[in-house]
Structure 1
Amino acid sequence: MNQTRTRVDRQAIKTMVSLGGAYIKHPQIKISHTQLFHSDGTHLSKLGNDLFLNNLQGAIEHIMGVKTK
């Protein structure tokens, strides 16, 4: 299952990039970092959500060429 997901993800990334798009990685968010998840192990905790949103903001700023303070 995970191998299939990885293959589909890779193909989606290739397609997005070939169309001039971009993708965002979240390497800091790993299931082994339990403090980033609620007790259900699926949903992000406040800390995990903050990290996710910070990554998202940084990526959008980078893609758009926005300079931050």
Structure 2
Amino acid sequence: MGTYTVTVAGTERYDGEKPYTYVIDYCCALDAVLHVLAHHRWENETADVIPVEVLLGEPSSNCGYVWNDLRGRQR
């Protein structure tokens, strides 16, 4: 199990909004991305979501952006 930082962009990218970043614990990067994509699609009621970036680990405290913590919410 590892911690991943996953950034995705939904329909907000058409309005110039920045993408959303999530932190999640998962067994591999691919599963982390798939879970975040599903979560973002469900939360925003749209299938128009694309992965932007996946990094191993959690952002530092001075990363300069806000992120959503999905750790502990997996089933």
Give the TM-score range, shorter chain: 0.3 to 0.5
Structure with a larger share of its residues in strand: 2
TM-score, normalized by length of structure 1? 0.34
Structure with a larger share of its residues in helix: 1
Higher radius of gyration, 1 or 2: 1
TM-score, normalized by length of structure 2? 0.32
The higher relative CO (CA closer than 8 Å, separation ≥ 6) is in 2
